[in-house]
Chains A and B, each alone.
Chain A
Amino acid sequence: MSLFSNLIGRLHGRCDHAMNLASRQLDGPLPLVSRARVWFHLATCRACAQATRQLRLVRQHAADTEPAGDRLDESAKARIRSKIRQNENPD
């Protein structure tokens, strides 16, 4: 392997390592060297670039989605009241 391709291979790194760093990047800035590694890997690996976009998309959906109208129905409230009474008056 030539020096050049060896260097590119080292810079490119493994997909699992790059995805790990990409995930960490969602939680805060990475050190400069790690940032450069992720950038280079994502610029040269279509699969990881795609997966990284999907991680962001899923995260956005997780944070955005609030199911409407989740309420305790009356039977659930009755069950809870009954448990609390049992607990307050075990006899």
Chain B
Amino acid sequence: MTDQPRDIRTADHWLDEHGDALFSYAVRRLHRRDAAEDLVQDTLLAALQSARRIDDDRAIRGWLMGILKHKLIDHFRRESVRRSDSLSDVSVEPFNADGYWNRPPTDWFDDPSRRAQASELSRQTRDCQSRLPPTLQAAYVLRDIDQEDVDSVCHQLSISANHLAVRLYRARLLLRECIESYLKASRP
């Protein structure tokens, strides 16, 4: 081994062994490679600075993933202060003042050629998800992508169950509107 300090060797080892898994997790939730890379870096730095030391190789990935999740939530919090390019600024309110649809939902796959585009839905869902307002995105990622239970999401985001339900409702409706706009625009 070289004469590098132990912590740097440890970080190199973690990066080689777990870097791809951490990065893949972060990219899937952020859909931005640069931001995901930053989160992996922050995770390794936080792990090195942690007073807790884990020597069991099998437990290390779970521990690093736990740190990464905290970093992801911090990221959404920071972005909620900074960002202004999210869907909430571009989408139309789906309901009028009386609570009825402004534009009734269309059938996404109303003819055979549309069905072929069902595969597009996954890609479009990811794209629209990355444009959700960060506070909604955090709730959506933890609940609908990670499929964590409601209590756990509330605990991680420090919000009530009712507050979470409101965020999820808004996130899901915004996603639906975003996907519908895309499908409408791509209609021949």
Query: How far is A65 from B41 in the complex, measured between Cα atoms in Å?
Result: 25
* CB <8 Å contact, A47 and B48: no
- Interface size class for chain B? 35 or more
Q: Is A8 in contact with chain B by the CB < 8 A criterion? A: no
Give the number of residue pairs across the A-B interface with Cβ within 8 Å: 129
Q: Is B75 in contact with chain A by the CB < 8 A criterion? A: no
* CB <8 Å contact, A54 and B176: yes
Per-position binary interface string of chain B over residues 127-142, scored 1 when its CB falls under 8 Å from any chain A CB and 0 otherwise: 0010000000000100
Query: How far is A80 from B107 in the complex, measured between Cα atoms in Å?
Result: 46
* CB <8 Å contact, A84 and B100: no
Please pick, from A23, A59, A67, A70, the residue contacting B169 in the complex, using a CB distance under 8 A: A23
Binding site for A on B (CB under 8 A): 5, 7-8, 11-12, 15-16, 19-20, 23-24, 27-28, 33, 36-37, 40-41, 44-45, 48, 94-95, 98-101, 104-108, 121-122, 125-126, 129, 140, 143-145, 147, 150, 164-165, 168-169, 172-173, 175-176, 179-180
